[in-house]
Amino acid sequence: MPTESRKFRRRCANALRMLSIDAVQAANSGHPGMPMGMADIAEVLWRRHLKHNPANPGWFDRDRFVLSNGHGSMLLYAMLHLAGYDLSLDDIRNFRQLHSKTPGHPEFGVTPGVETTTGPLGQGLANAVGMALAERLLAETFNIGGHKIVDHTTYAFVGDGCLMEGISHEACSLAGRLSLSKLIVFYDDNDISIDGQVQPWYADDTPKRFEAYGWRVVPNCDGHDVDSIEAAIRLARTSVGRPTLICCKTMIGFGSPNKGGTHESHGAPLGAGEVAETRRQLDWPYPAFEIPADVRFGWDARDRGEAAEYHWQAAFANYRADYPELAAEFERRMRGALPADWSARVTSLLERVASDNAAMATRKASQNVIEALSPHLPELLGGSADLTGSNLTNWSGTRPANRQTAGNYVYYGVREFAMTAIANGLTLHGGFIPYTGTFLVFSDYSRNAIRLTAQMKLRQVMVFTHDSIGLGEDGPTHQPIEHAASLRLIPGLDVWRPADALETTVAWTTALARQDGPTCLLLSRQNLPSLPRAATQTADIARGGYILREADGGAPRVVLIGTGSELNLVCAAQEALAAQGIAARVVSLPCSQRFDAQPAAYRQQILPPELPRVVVEAGHPDLWRKYVGLDGAVIGIDRFGESAPAGVLYDYFGITVEKIAEAAGALLV
């Protein structure tokens, strides 16, 4: 880029400020202060360093940019618009309006060029860690023979709020141990949050904090001086073996004569009078939403982006010529396509599991699936929050990803929230299908990240073991009660609670094939018997609910519904009822989301509306009322657990064959 005057560069930054101010003012809603404060940093990064192609936002070797302080969304929208992405001035004018391409916080899949959904502070930073980790692992796998087809940087903007959130500690502490030299984070150090000056509640020595994590820190960057910002970025790009934090001192609401430097510019429009004053202060004599031609030209990144992608495509063609098989594998993984022989492998695996009558915990059945499929699915990237030996998320070919080498497994440490958010970043980057592991009760720690996984429709598998009071003596702090129900309430999240090895295998293979959202697997600690099925029943498991055992004569008077470790109790209750002359149907409902998505005719075939129903699950009963109605019965637990052996607890809480049969009989009186 030719030499430009500081005055022109400030005008380019002011274009970001004024578009943000005008959009927030027009919407009468939003956060103008952060875009005004970080505009100079954004100008240097996006116009001088960021590798991207507005005509192809999904070009693989682009740099990733994450706006972790997502309330400042207009800064990102302004940059995308001016750089030449498919985001018009009308879209900018439509900021925060229904079905616009410029929602209040950035949303992945809504706005071209937005890499991840942000807004819940700190999660974007953790996503960026995942993206940088993905880049490093892919580079170490595919960059051979002098070819560098994976060579890009992940940049993130963060604010005081992001660094106050605990997830920032979780993610950044781990990032410092993973040699993420291509992760560069800009800290917007403006000392302001919505409540005012942060000093009374946030006075951390941030540079020392990140140095303790093992990061390279560039302190005292003047966030309003292009030379200071430029020097900081150039230094960061020389980092070897560690990520970089650039501490940028800025003024929130820069340019606002009366609200700059105060919390008044943080989360509300400046007001018509202050907007006019700011225009004069910034020497911006243009009406709302008008950008002068020279500034537009200075921001336009389309030619530069096209050239960058062209050179990469040429380099990849040379790579394909030298390593055709690796190139084909790389392209498959970037498409998110499963291997060509996937269906055959799944069929063979299901047949093998169906023929094995051994009792086992579903967590062990899950590990067996991982063992069977991982050698043929190199994009499968596992991990656990310090519970690998309990979650059974490792396999014989597990290779830790660490400072020295690439691998296929991340030891996340006790970091459930960051683990899930980092896995989101891995998925968003492309090239991986991550799976994670912890106890079900600790899903609470990662819930907000799970919510965003579902909102972004990301393919991710979350293994949650120790799924009930069946874990026993660890007691109520570790026994999930409301967790299955709570997870089932998250839109777009498939929640499987399989009853044996075969259902676990179907759950895993269905989750891996799913490309429109995440999956949770709720798995038992205790051994569970293998339940025999016909081939048609095996095929129906993927529908989320099916008839496991029909009543004698095919004329049931009551339907018994079970999931997970309680399904074998339901089968025993069917036999007890038969001895009483009561014909009962047993329905397995391992995934209510998939069952609810089936045609009405199928659902009514499985659960005839005229028959009374009993549901059995060692968890909170309320959500099951939609299947049994107010007159049906749910045998569950609506209080916290106790510390005792599993068998004792099932008896104590009345989850027994006798109680199930008694409840069914009462419905027929």
CB 457 within 8 A of CB 482: no
Strand order in the sheet with 244-249: 64-67, 154-159, 183-189, 244-249, 216-222
Neighbours of 145 (CB within 10 A): 9
Calpha distance 658→575 (Å, rounded):
11
Token couple for 94: 């439509």
Calpha distance 250→257 (Å, rounded):
15
Q: Which of 43, 107, 274, 416 is catalytic?
A: 416
| Catalytic residue list contains 416 | yes
Among candidate residues 313, 9, 302, 318, the one with its CA nearest the CA of residue 146: 318
For β-strands 192-193 and 196-197, DSSP reports them as: antiparallel
H-only helix segments in 456-543: 483-488, 501-513, 535-541
How far lies 433's CA from each of 162, 176, 294, 508, in Å?
A: 26, 23, 44, 12
Positive or negative, the CA dihedral 312, 317, 321, 327 is positive
As beta bridge partners, residue 438 has 464
CB 308 within 8 A of CB 63: no
Calpha distance 635→647 (Å, rounded):
16
Say whether 152 sits in a helix, a strand or coil.
coil
Among candidate residues 76, 170, 186, the one with its CA nearest the CA of residue 126: 170
Calpha distance 2→640 (Å, rounded):
67
Positions marked active-site:
416
